[in-house]
Amino acid sequence: MNGDFVVPFARRGSIVGAEEIAALAALVDSDAPLSAGGLRERFESRFARHVGSRHALSVTSGTVALELAIELLELRPGDEVVATPQTFQATLQPLLDRDVTVRFCDVDPESLNLDADVLETLITPRTRAILLVHYGGWAADMDRIMAIARRHGVLVLEDSAHALGSTYHGSRPGALADISCFSFHATKNITTLGEGGMITTDRDDWAERLDRRRNNEVDGIYLPADEQEPFLLPWMKFSADVYRQACVGVRRAGTNATLAEAAAGVGLTQLDRLETLVARRRRIAGRLDEVLDRHPHVRRQRPPAGVGHAYHLYTFFAGGGSQARDELVRTLHRQGVEVQLRYFPQHLTPEWRWRGHGPGECPTAERLWFTEHMNLPCHPGLTDTQVDHLVHTLDRALAEVPDRTRTVRGGPAVRTLPA
């Protein structure tokens, strides 16, 4: 969508300023390495402590994090994966390369996270993994999901790209499942100069394999070498490491996915500012909540006690059916408020329809997307004046939209796509 908006959707999800510039200047003025140095190690250590995980390994993007994490699941032909449809395409794209069956799990009508009641019905003896997302920064129902997974011996990958700064009953996403992935894209709650990602896990073996792969080393199975080491000069340390090992199997070739020192330095500074950045999101969300509470024909999200929403996305549900929702979007657009609806249900995209999925598979996700789903700008880059305009414009627009029906779980029929 082109054009200038009074209240734009996030081009940057955080604020980059003097602290980040100082961190970059200090690095450039030093003789420290620009790759695989001390800043990356410090960023990873601090990040692991923040989320409460044993290991944190940074990579070049959230997409790369997901690709590497899914490889660790060691999916084989015939395996099944249960996944949420309410996410960005990067969460599921690595599965298109594999001969596995994806069973899309419908979403909870309030959080838009994977519905634990539906999940239980989708587990089969072939289920190998569950892929979920903490939609918008509201942590999924992890106690129930992990209980189901453990009961069936299933691994869980949490896509925490939205969830940095959120909480779940005293814990944080990133330490709630077997493995977790974060994104530091420019639009996320913190950034590492536009791109970057992190993988967190408590498993030592997975961390070792991830470290090898991202550092251009083979993810292989190694044993001590039997042959005598050839003559090596003292500083040929890499050659010495090679000759002391024997490879008895290769899982994956290595790649270069290391986060640059400049990005890691900015990430450290951003992590220091995370609480302030999320607090700003929550204040904006609170003002929007007050507006929605004045209009009974719309429904806002209400996280339960113990769940701290990070508001990477501000989501609510418009009443009155698809025509009323669409008119609300147009009205906000005309008044300078940029609306981006996130995300189109993945099981209805061309790629997944080609794999046999289609309308009717996740009725709640489909109904909400086509008739009620709304996202509004909510990021710390908004000025107080912009927030005032957003609040007043939303209030007026909601007053103009006819209150034809109250939003309920049954709801109006969904507009379907052609088969």
104-132 pLDDT, tens digit per residue, is 999 999 999 999 999 999 999 999 999 99
Q: Are residues 164 and 199 in the same domain?
A: yes
Distance CA 6, CA 333 (A): 10
**Which pLDDT value is given to residue 261?**
98
Q: Are residues 225 and 212 in the same domain?
A: no
335, part of any domain: yes
353, part of any domain: yes
Q: Which region among 110-114, 176-180, 271-275, 406-410 has the lowest average model confidence (pLDDT)?
A: 406-410
374, part of any domain: yes
12, part of any domain: no
Please compute the mean of the pLDDT values over residues 149-158 and round it to a whole number: 98
**Which pLDDT value is given to residue 406?**
41
Q: Give how many domains the chain has, as a whole number.
A: 3
Q: What is the pTM of this model?
A: 0.92
Q: Are residues 191 and 66 in the same domain?
A: yes
183-222 pLDDT, tens digit per residue, is 999 999 999 999 999 999 999 999 999 999 999 988 999 8
**Which pLDDT value is given to residue 320?**
86
Distance CA 252, CA 218 (A): 6
Domain with 126 in it: 18-217+253-262
Q: Are residues 230 and 195 in the same domain?
A: no
**Which pLDDT value is given to residue 224?**
82
Q: Are residues 231 and 337 in the same domain?
A: no
Q: Are residues 236 and 284 in the same domain?
A: no
Q: What is the CATH number of the domain that holds 356?
A: 3.90.1150.10
Q: What is the CATH number of the domain that holds 164?
A: 3.40.640.10
Distance CA 60, CA 34 (A): 14
Q: Are residues 246 and 350 in the same domain?
A: no
Cβ contact 176:190 at 8 Å? no
216-236 burial, b if ≥16 CB within 10 A, otherwise e? Answer: eeebbeeeeeeeeeeeeeeee
Q: Are residues 139 and 197 in the same domain?
A: yes
Q: Are residues 177 and 226 in the same domain?
A: no
79, part of any domain: yes
CB count in 10 Å sphere of residue 324? 19
Q: Are residues 225 and 362 in the same domain?
A: no
Please compute the mean of the pLDDT values over residues 316-321 and round it to a whole number: 92
23, part of any domain: yes
411, part of any domain: no
415, part of any domain: no
Q: Are residues 257 and 245 in the same domain?
A: no
Q: Are residues 46 and 169 in the same domain?
A: yes
